Amino acid sequence: MGVSPHARASVMLSQTMMLAVIAFALARPAFAQETHLIVITGIEASPEDGAQFHKWAATLIDAAKRKDGVAEANILYLADKPDVDRARIRARSTREEVDKAFTDVAARARPTDQIFVVLLGHGSFDGHDAAFNLPGPDLKAADYAKLLQKFGTQRIVFVNTSSSSGGFLAPLAGPNRTIVAATKTGGERLDTLFPEYFVEALTNEAADKNRDGRISVLEAFDYARTKVAQVYQQKGNVVTEHAALDDGSDGKLADAMFLESPRARAVVFASVADPALRALLEQRQALEDQINALKGRKASMDAAAYEQELEKLVTDLALKTRAIQQLEKKK
């Protein structure tokens, strides 16, 4: 007995819908991805020094947990004097403990996770090597480069806010990495203003330049750099620090990296009342995640294939953004 045209059409429609559902599911962001935050404050030159470092670190950590949804288990804070805040500080920031922290995170991090490292303290430069000053032997830029090798596939944000931090840029640069330094060279040796404003940026909506409810690493960097320049200008002082960022893509990767967990992103989407708008926002985020993942694979891809895939994703993203804008205009 033959199958009627109507039945064949129904089967084909069902198969098409099933394929569409599968494609949409595959396109959605992998909410299993987590962010791991490592905060290290260095040796104190004075009690006031240490209090300031701790204030910045605590502000950053509390914001990461409260605002950005980073799990407490995924936060490691090392400091010169752990007794100052045993609730937050995991261990003393010695060379050995720093190595242990990176090893522990590397053992727990999944391939698609993000590693976010922030150094708050003093740096030094001997004319050849830049270092971040710790209680006991310091760790040089080359040492941190070796520690980052523990993360083979994870995306990395490494922020050194200290003096002479520009000497960390070249040794740490690499695929899937955003490196931020408070100075452009190791030779800028004076204490920096950058950490105050970088931490402020991650907790201040004013840094959200594109008003998407999230503050990217690039937005935080631009905010801090602008604030530092304004302070020097207002005081009429010669500028002694010039912040720098290297992500290998002229800021594109840095603009797609955030100190947040997927849980925080899911909360933002859930707060959108209109189901049609919420679906479009989630689909746009999925496209952004695919673009970010593609950029991470660029070094291992054929150039033509990379450009072709990127062009398609960027086009789809533009169309999705237009649809969102049109829907928002109707409100």
Range of lowest pLDDT (5-14, 46-55, 201-210, 319-328): 5-14
Longest dimension (CA), the chain: 91
Which are the contacts of 185, defined by CB distance < 8 A and separation ≥ 6?
164, 166, 167
Pairing of strands 139-140, 75-79: unpaired
The pLDDT, as a whole number, for residue 255 is 87
pLDDT tens, position by position, 137-185: 999 999 999 999 999 989 999 999 999 999 999 999 999 999 999 999 9
Task: For residues 295 and 147, give the distance between their C-alpha atoms in angstroms, rounded to a whole number.
Answer: 23
Q: Give the residue from 142, 159, 162 showing the smallest Cα distance to 259.
A: 159
pLDDT tens, position by position, 70-118: 989 999 999 999 999 999 999 999 999 999 999 999 999 998 899 999 9
**Of all residues in the chain, what percent carry a pLDDT higher than 70?**
87
**The overall pTM is greater than 0.85:** no
The pLDDT, as a whole number, for residue 23 is 39
**135, 92 contact by CB (below 8 A):** yes
Please give the residue that has the higher pLDDT: either 170 or 297.
170
